[in-house]
Amino acid sequence: MKIKVFFYLVIFLTMAACGHNKRPGLSDKELFVLKAPDTLRQETVELNEETYVPPPGIKYNESRAIDPANPPVVLDIANRKLNIKKFDLSDYYTKVRYIKLKHPMPPKEGNFLFDANYYVTYERGAMSASGQNSKFQFSDDYIIAGDKYFGLHCYDKEGNFLYTIESNDFPKTYNISQNLITYSMSDFKGFIGGISTIKNSCLYNFRENNKNFLCLYDLDRRERLFTRNCESSVFFLNDNSIASYTYWPLNPNRIFLFTFNIKGDTLCRFQSYNFVPEMKKNSYVSPPSPNIYYYNGQLTVNQSLNDTVFRVVSPNRLVPVYILNFGSYKLDVQTALYGDQSQKLRTYTWEESNRYILFIYTQNYDCQNNRNNGSVKFFYSFYDKKSRQLYHFSEGTTMPEDHFFIENPIPDALPFILSSVEIEENQLRVCYSKRRLEDIIKNKGFASLSPEQQEKVKTLQSELDESEVLIMILE
């Protein structure tokens, strides 16, 4: 299954948390100027910002007060009278351009990965799964592309290969016809994920000698600036500070986010208001994935099992910008891990542009068994910032995101499968492999396209090499 966590970070809080963190001068009416959701935290944690003293080694108090001039927007998902409207890309974009990247390795030795299968052996067992994808991250002047199997590589903005950042040279077998990678975890070393860029500097995680490290890399100078031990993924906040997410529902430490300066000194820690669920001996369901991204240069976080989307505006300041009101359909932590979710709504993906938010959620949790028996439904929606309306372009369907076909009316543009999209402020980007274009041709929605657009897709599919990726950028 696709787990869209661009790097593992997430932010968590509820409207009630904002209420408890209010500063003098903000009335309850100002703080709850919009309809307050029913998803109040289940365990009260008092935190008075004026008297709270951070523990030794923590420099700043945390703040999560609402900006009274820009109170958070409430998306009323609990209202099941769905406002249906087609998601028309031409309402938001007018032009298209393409970039083609070629993998620096021969196809039989390495490639860009799209929905790949992998089989991993451990000292005491093994696991198999699918959905491994390469990442394509844009900095000011470069495109960083790659994955934890075939390394991390740097291209210019026209798609020309420049150099390899991490080669990930360890024993593995890649079956290109089966799209399958096989390896032993004891042999693994190299880039493992967590790409975050600011200007032309890059943070990422890599593994060596069975230990995880954080690396700061200068893309202009082509060299590491520092390396230190680090078990979690981190994100730039600005030139001098970074953030690290540490929350897991079963972890009792009650801290979900730390911020540090570039030297590693702790600046602030943010308490989690999620209650710690009662642990049971039986297996548990993985909680919904977090959504973490940048908007106008600010790290933005929506933590799993939380209804608040925050901007991280400084190392000790979270500003709530959106509230997801799930009402009685809210999924609490205990139910998410061990309970019946058949009537609960779960956040699936959340992508924000400067004009709209593309929001996907499910009823019940997404797994192969629930897909097979039809018990998980997918709701595809978008919030238009100009009209301030939440629309649905699906009334609930069993068709998952990795099969959902999106037509594209913009001249010279291509249709795509929804799971392949990345949105960044004024751009929508889609990465196509030869295999993905073939899947589009096989999709039942393909027949609804004009003959000209069908022919364009078929031509590009036949011309694209197995070791190439085509990136479509809508602006």
Q: If pLDDT is split at 50, 70 and 90, which confidence band does 53 have?
A: low
Phi, psi of 315 (to 5 degrees): -60, -20
* CB-based contact 85:391 (threshold 8 Å): yes
The answer to whether position 259 is within a domain reads yes
- pLDDT score, position 55: 66
Is the pLDDT confidence value at 392 over 60? yes
Bridge-based pairing state of the strands 96-102 and 468-474: antiparallel
The answer to whether position 440 is within a domain reads yes
d(CA 268, CA 47): 14
* CB-based contact 359:345 (threshold 8 Å): no
Give percent of the chain with pLDDT exceeding 90: 54
- pLDDT score, position 458: 96
Is the pLDDT confidence value at 225 over 70? yes
CA atoms within 13 A on the CB side of 348: 26
* CB-based contact 133:436 (threshold 8 Å): no
d(CA 166, CA 226): 15
Binning the chain into helix, strand and coil, the percentages to the nearest 5 are 15, 40, 45
- pLDDT score, position 48: 41
- pLDDT score, position 304: 81
Higher pLDDT, 466 or 375: 375
- pLDDT score, position 272: 84
Average pLDDT, the chain: 84
* CB-based contact 411:98 (threshold 8 Å): no
d(CA 188, CA 203): 20
The answer to whether position 2 is within a domain reads no
The total of structural domains in the chain comes to: 1
* pLDDT tens column, 337-355: 999 999 999 999 999 999 9
- pLDDT score, position 191: 85
Q: If pLDDT is split at 50, 70 and 90, which confidence band does 281 have?
A: confident
Question: What would the two tokens of residue 398 be?
Answer: 């069993």
Q: If pLDDT is split at 50, 70 and 90, which confidence band does 311 have?
A: very high
Question: What would the two tokens of residue 427 be?
Answer: 């751009």
* pLDDT tens column, 59-93: 889 899 999 999 999 999 999 999 999 999 999 99
Q: Of all helices (H) and strands (E), which one includes residue 143?
A: strand 142-147
Domain that holds residue 194: 15-474
Burial of 374 (0-12, 13-18, 19+ CB in 10 A): exposed
Is the pLDDT confidence value at 106 over 50? yes
* pLDDT tens column, 148-167: 999 999 999 999 999 999 98
The answer to whether position 33 is within a domain reads yes
Higher pLDDT, 33 or 337: 337
Give percent of the chain with pLDDT exceeding 70: 88
The answer to whether position 372 is within a domain reads yes
- Which one, of 238, 231, 232, lies nearest residue 262 by Cα? 238
Please state which of the ranges 17-26, 217-226, 238-247, 330-339 shows the lowest mean pLDDT: 17-26
Say how far residue 98 (Cα) sits from the centre of its chain.
23
d(CA 222, CA 134): 21
The angle formed by the CA atoms of residues 172, 175 and 178, to the nearest 5 degrees, is: 140
The answer to whether position 7 is within a domain reads no
d(CA 324, CA 301): 13
d(CA 243, CA 62): 13
d(CA 42, CA 40): 6
Q: If pLDDT is split at 50, 70 and 90, which confidence band does 274 have?
A: confident
The answer to whether position 368 is within a domain reads yes
- pLDDT score, position 464: 94
The answer to whether position 4 is within a domain reads no
Burial of 53 (0-12, 13-18, 19+ CB in 10 A): exposed
The angle formed by the CA atoms of residues 134, 93 and 406, to the nearest 5 degrees, is: 55
- pLDDT score, position 330: 94
